Structure 1
Amino acid sequence: MPHDPAPSPTAPALRRRTVLAAAAASALVPFGTARAQAFPSRPITLIVPWPAGGSTDRHHRLLAELASKHLGQNVIVQNQPGAGGTLGPGSMALTAKPDGYTISQYPMGMLRIPHMQKTQWHPLNDFTFIMGVSGYTFGFVVRADSPYKTFNDYVEAARKQPGKIDYGSTGIGTSPHLLIEEVAEAAKIQLNHVPFKGNADQMQALIGGHVMAASDATGWDKFVDAGQMRLLLTFGETRTKRWPQVPTAKDLGYGVVSTSPYGLVGPKGMDPAVVKALHDAFKKAMDDPRHAEVMEQLNQQVWYRTGDEYRAWATETFAKDRQLIEKLGLAAK
């Protein structure tokens, strides 16, 4: 005699099986992936460690706007100047959660200041490297009515008045500072360095006649093009397309070349999936035609690096720049 068919499961039993199956399936999804799928669920803060209005600020405000479209959340720029561009990222490393909602521009000063003074953060161990972005065109400017028509005029004045001829930079240990100190050492002159928080206050000081000259990235471009300032020198491998008549330090025999690459970082310990979400959004922002336009305005080149490539470069540069700091007599005692 055939067996009666097994009784059908009750509705509660079916529901219970469905819940258990869903739970089992979700357990197979890595926790990091689940978090990344929910990221971002609120606005992201991008720290720009320079005052508003300078070349770095202009660049990152556009990057933030473009990346916001790909992330589906606003990226809000927070200016946090100070300590030669290291206050913002340094504070982030010490206080921000590694959840991807606070990231920062990472200037080269981060790899130099620790050789010059004690810091509470380590430039490599306390950060997650997201991507390399760009580098600067550095230049040396004076007011249009300055008696220094060429960089050699400025050098000759310093030879006649050691320590009396001054210049401003965006802070102790920044590339604009160290570039001129390298040139001064090569020219065997002694200059008076005046540090500022960033481009905006330095440009105001130069326009106001409070300093004789200024070393900085291309935040001076609009003043040069408007005839308010004279560009005496740039520090690229070759002359710029925008100001081809202006010699490089290399042209003048000083052998000092720098673009000071920078990128984006977060606190140490970030979820790789969250890092990838940020990297991919900002990479799409860098590929946008509007980004190419601002790069041309600032006379900057794209310097794209993956997070791993950026960390490797930073590790190598940190070791190499110790020698530069020691050579210039700026190493911590």
Structure 2
Amino acid sequence: MSYLLQLIEQYGLIIVFFNVLLSQLGVPLPAYPTLIITGALASGGEYSTTLLMLTAVGAALIADYGWYLAGKRYGRKVMGMLCRISLSPDSCVRQTEAIYARWGAPSLLVAKFVPGFASIASALAGTIGTRRPTFLLFDGVGAALWAGLAIYLGSRFSATIDQLLLLLEELGETGLAVILAGIAVFVVGKWWQRKRFMKSLSMARISVAELDQLLQQGIKPAIVDVRTPVAQQRGWIPGAVVTSIQQINTFTLDVTADQEIIVYCACPNEASAAIVAKQLIQRGYKKVRPLTGGIDAWIAAGYPVET
């Protein structure tokens, strides 16, 4: 443990850079504890506070700009990939789109304070065409606010943090084990949360080929689009009606309880569609199925969309 603390004192800025970079790239490795500890060390003269701030902001901007460019080039695919590798629930795309649609680029000012939002918001900014200077301005200010608060907390409670570091040093290997156990508990907790969420989405689905076959046969199921307004601008499956998870309790379908209802979204594992489908089943509709792959699978198969 003593060796670890010496590394933090000697190479703190390098550790901060790579910790923040990996964290903003989506690795489940919290950067705030590192920033708070190095903020405490900076208040004691170990580092330059300005250099510490620039290091953290620079690392965050590199990661975020990488996601911005990925979103600009690959569109929504990169956001879907982010949600698949994330330890947060798969509704992250829908939530991020809703926040970004309401506030636009200024939402990046608080993005890093919202778990699971920063990386996807950066990719979304590139996807919907947010201007590069605008993105860099708001993302940079947001990174400064995020890192600055951690550094301030470190300096404000430097005495307490110094005592904690001394205690961990006295504990030796036990102290290191406590730190590693804390990180493990965080990761396992997120993994368990995701596993429970995935289990809750388990239900029968319909493929895009099956839906097209129904339409070709003249069978017209009720088709419900539960994407955000931003996503719906790209077009929708012909005949679909539009709603959202927030509106589903007041949403009325002009169908009988026995009629087929197909719900689709544009999110990994059909998360939003499955949630809405289960809510419709609870309201008495008997034949409700999410569309496997959502609108992206429909478009990839070459089927038409309306705008």
Task: Output the TM-score relative to the length of structure 2.
Answer: 0.30
Which structure shows the bigger proportion of residues in helix conformation? Answer: 2
Task: Output the TM-score relative to the length of structure 1.
Answer: 0.29
Q: Which has the higher contact order (CA 8 A, sep 6+)?
A: 1
